[in-house]
Amino acid sequence: MSNVTALPKIAWIGLGIMGSPMSENLLKAGYSVTGYTLEQDKLDRLAAAGGTAAGSIAEAVKDADVIITMVPASPHVEAISYGPEGILENAKSGALIIDMSSITPQTSVDLAKNAAEKGLRVLDAPVSGGEAGAIEAVLSIMVGGEKADFDAALPILEALGKTIVLCGPHGSGQTVKAANQLIVAVNIQACAEAVVFLEKSGVDLQAALDVLNGGLAGSTVLTRKKDNFLNRDFKPGFRIDLHHKDMGIVTDAARNVGAALPVGAVVAQLVASLRAQGDGGLDHSALLRAVERLSGSQV
């Protein structure tokens, strides 16, 4: 038996900005991938990369050993998981579901419980690194679930990311992802404020960001988003709409455990404000637009 045929069969549900390049990285690693998503052009892209396009969730998952889901939010995870056409009713017993969406920790806990009743295993495995990290297969993957399932999934996850950590029981991956989104949003906001301050002061922005990124103010956020700031290029790698959803998750989860997030709460409102002004479809680096509006410098 060749190595390719020995690898588990994978079903992939959700082929968006993140899901498409991630599924393609599994194909490059030699896995068989059958995918389903709502957009025909995304199915065509998967087929062109060597995958198989399915006509439904049920068709995609019926023969899969591992089912990976990457959809926008908790309601989407519930919609694809439950009901007669959903994953739980159509997956074969013993299959492993890896949900890589960013959702509420409670949704992940509930999914694991309901899946166990069907003889299915679940990991919550949200990611950080954005579109570039997905394309380059250098994502940070934070996982919640049983260690045996994590160990079984590790070779697959290693084809998708670079930093892969089991953070605790079901829901723990989502909790760590929520903290990640808090840090990223606050960091982007700080960078955006610095950009406006620097420009209004007449400083060469590129030179300033280069030197800042070489010191303690440097960050992955600044490295990844520097060109967005310089070129005002807000083509979505990670949309404000999704970061708005994530800030709701972290503020709600923090309230439930009694953790105060004073700066996070302010940034959550700034993200919500930007979305309310019609910028929800832009990259989260577009927080710069909100600071410019507040500073009277946006045309």
Backbone φ and ψ of 65, nearest 5°: -85, -35
Helix (H, G, I), strand (E, B) or coil at 73: coil
- Whether the CB-CB separation of 60 and 13 falls below 8 Å is answered with yes
DSSP 8-state secondary structure symbol assigned to residue 8? P
Selected catalytic residue, list 9, 113, 162, 177? 177
Query: What count of Cα atoms within 13 Å lies in the side-chain half-sphere of residue 59?
Result: 9
d(Cα 24, Cα 175) in Å, to the nearest integer? 27
- Whether the CB-CB separation of 15 and 35 falls below 8 Å is answered with yes
177 among known catalytic residues: yes
Q: Which residues contact 233 (CB under 8 A, 6 or more apart)?
A: 227, 283
Alpha-helical regions (H) of 72-219: 74-81, 87-90, 105-116, 130-136, 147-158, 172-200, 205-213
d(Cα 290, Cα 33) in Å, to the nearest integer? 41
Residues labelled catalytic: 177
